[in-house]
Amino acid sequence: VKGMGGAMDLVAGAKNIIVTMTHTDKHGNPKLLGECTLPLTGVNCITRIITDLAVLSVEDGAFVLQERAPGVSVDEIKEKTGGKLVVPDNVPEMQF
């Protein structure tokens, strides 16, 4: 697989990796898990995740909720996140 080597090189040299993805799979199962179930191209290198539901930072092995999509509740994000989720007292809606 030719593209995989390039991805590994990018991850190894980067200081700030931002991932964009859907929060759940097509069956509604969480994609943000406490432990990776796929082959790793880098370990502990992702700093921010942007999904269709929220913006999260990754800190000390946990997802920290920064913002939520318009109309999305904190409870929905909690329900659809499989890994440890830290929720600050105030989580604003994203502003476009």
Q: If you search the block for the tokens 């990018």, which residue do you land on?
A: 10
Main-chain dihedrals φ then ψ at residue 53, nearest 5 degrees: -110, -30
d(CA 52, CA 11): 23
Q: How many CB atoms lie within 10 A of CB 41?
A: 15
pLDDT digits (tens, 9 = 90+) for 39-58: 666 666 688 999 999 999 99
Amino acid at 1: V
- Whether CATH 3.40.1080.10 fits 2-86: yes
> Domain spans of the chain?
2-86
**Whether pLDDT at 38 is above 70:** no
For 46, residues 6+ apart whose C-beta sits below 8 A from its C-beta are: 17, 18, 19, 58
pLDDT at 25: 93
pLDDT range class, residue 3, cuts 50, 70, 90: very low
pLDDT range class, residue 1, cuts 50, 70, 90: very low
